[in-house]
A and B are shown apart, each in its own frame.
Chain A
């Protein structure tokens, strides 16, 4: 500035204060925004992402945090992350125990809704998704392992999760609590697995929407015979290669805490 030399001394002090203030504010703001790195690098929360989600880094890079996937989900499975997930703020995840994706929209509505390709448009069918893989984390509490059946509401009278039961309503999911079970041996995880349901329909010659492409090439879960410590023959859930990590087994398991966990640490997600 040409006339800065003409300015009186107090002005210079004021200007200097303003400069210092601005530098502090700037450092504070940039610093605060970079705090978002901590939960991401520290992997504070391992989230199950919606169907079609890219691998975690490109997923967070490409997600524009708009929630359009949340709005189209017929079972309200998708939630948005909070500030404590740092750079992941506003990104969609699924709490599988509370409400998992049962693919009851068939057409992967969230994938179609995603404006940025964070949920890749490269896939068309539920069995092509890779949200993670189920793990039988607590086999000792599994009703099948204990040789027990199950009667009643899978998750109790208060639970407001939804599932689609093809035999009741092909198009609309209903409350799980409105669909009580009466099973001699508990096989809820196998029975409600969306991949297994589709595979069974295909085996029966009735693929969903009469579309052969809907048929999963691999099975996802089954009960296998095991001998327990006392030498008694029992059944135990076993996860197969066709599992996509949707988490319906985790959701429907009547045991608290659930026998299952969804592992997202392995190579889940699509390549960008």
Chain B
């Protein structure tokens, strides 16, 4: 199975497959064998002790996360100020807009409209292709963590959820990740059959974007309900198991040049990255003995949020733009 088909299979909700002996590159095989030696194991165990003590004493500031929040807020406020100050910089909402006059269309919203309307006007096509290229370059699901307003609220809800879990007041109830693929297919079918943009009715992304720009309304109750569900019942449920927008952008980003890359040689396998990740299945490769190569590209479901990069004590995870080298 090639890297991309593995990545897509995980994106569609299948569990990551453990590598069989033939999957490993010779270098990775050697490195895994080296890491299993008593001396290296001891070195690693001691290393983890030291770094976790340090982390406990001085909890690191998640710099990338704060920067990302700033970018996300800026993107959304650009819409708001554009309208309120009438500067016509970024007109519209996240579903479709114009950036200094140039059409942009959210891929999932555009898909719903095309299927329901069964007719594509040129402006929509231009907007869709532009956004496709832009988010392909930037990593696909980058949209989720760097632009979607629901993602930010869900991150704050997640902080609450984890506090409640720590106090043992609530437990996380995971769902089958294949559900999202089914939703995607069903909403495509519904748009086609009913002739209405059914998904837009419940899309928290569209609802929040419009609420920010045009003022709050009744639909925010639905968003609140989703957040309560995530706080008390299931961690990050909407983004993990439901959102078809995430899957659309995931497919776009499957071959993106902007990726998070894993470096096996420096990794202690302490698993800090998997604790913070929205989609931890993409990080199975960091488990000891799982990396197929010495450098591994993280899969399409990755939102490029950078929390693993922030949390990795050994800098074994890095942003990379293929062809341009490491970014961080």
Contacts and interface: CB of A to CB of B under 8 A. Distances in A.
A191 interface: no
Interface stretch (A66-74, A135-143, A227-235): A66-74
B98 interface: yes
B201 A87 contact: yes
B92 A71 contact: yes
Given A33-B202, A68-B96, A89-B200, A116 B117 contact: yes
B176 interface: yes
Interface residues of A, number: 43
A67 B175 contact: no
B309 interface: no
Interface in B63-111: 82-83, 91-93, 95-98, 103, 105-106, 109-110
Contacts of A26: 179, 182-183
Contact of B197 (A30, A65, A84, A115): A65
Given A22-B176, A29-B242, A70-B214, A64 B95 contact: yes
Interface string A15-28: 00011011001100
B96 A115 contact: yes
A173 interface: no
Interface string B195-238: 11111111000110010011001110110000000000000010
A7 to B, nearest CB: 13
A115 B198 contact: no
A22 B219 contact: no
A209 interface: no
Given A61-B117, A82-B218, A67 B176 contact: no
A68 to B, nearest CB: 4
A32 interface: yes
A263 to B, nearest CB: 24
Contacts of A35: 201
A86 B241 CA distance: 23
Which of B103, B190, B200, B219 gathers most chain A CB within 10 Å? B200
Given A64-B105, A65-B93, A66-B92, A22 B179 contact: yes
A116 B206 contact: no
A40 B109 CA distance: 19
Interface in A54-98: 57-58, 60-68, 70-72, 80, 82-84, 86-87, 89-90
B173 interface: yes
A64 B109 contact: yes
B192 to A, nearest CB: 10
B2 interface: no
B198 A34 contact: yes
B186 interface: yes
A29 B226 CA distance: 11
A66 B205 CA distance: 12
B97 A89 contact: no
Contacts of A58: 117, 195
Interface in B110-149: 110, 113, 116-119, 121, 123-124, 127
27 contacts: A18-B173, A18-B174, A19-B176, A25-B175, A26-B182, A32-B202, A61-B113, A64-B124, A64-B197, A65-B109, A65-B197, A67-B93, A68-B92, A68-B97, A71-B82, A72-B91, A80-B214, A83-B201, A83-B219, A83-B221, A83-B222, A90-B206, A113-B91, A115-B92, A115-B98, A115-B105, A116-B96
Interface of B: 82-83, 91-93, 95-98, 103, 105-106, 109-110, 113, 116-119, 121, 123-124, 127, 173-176, 179, 182-183, 186-187, 190, 194-202, 206-207, 210, 213-214, 217-219, 221-222, 237, 241-242
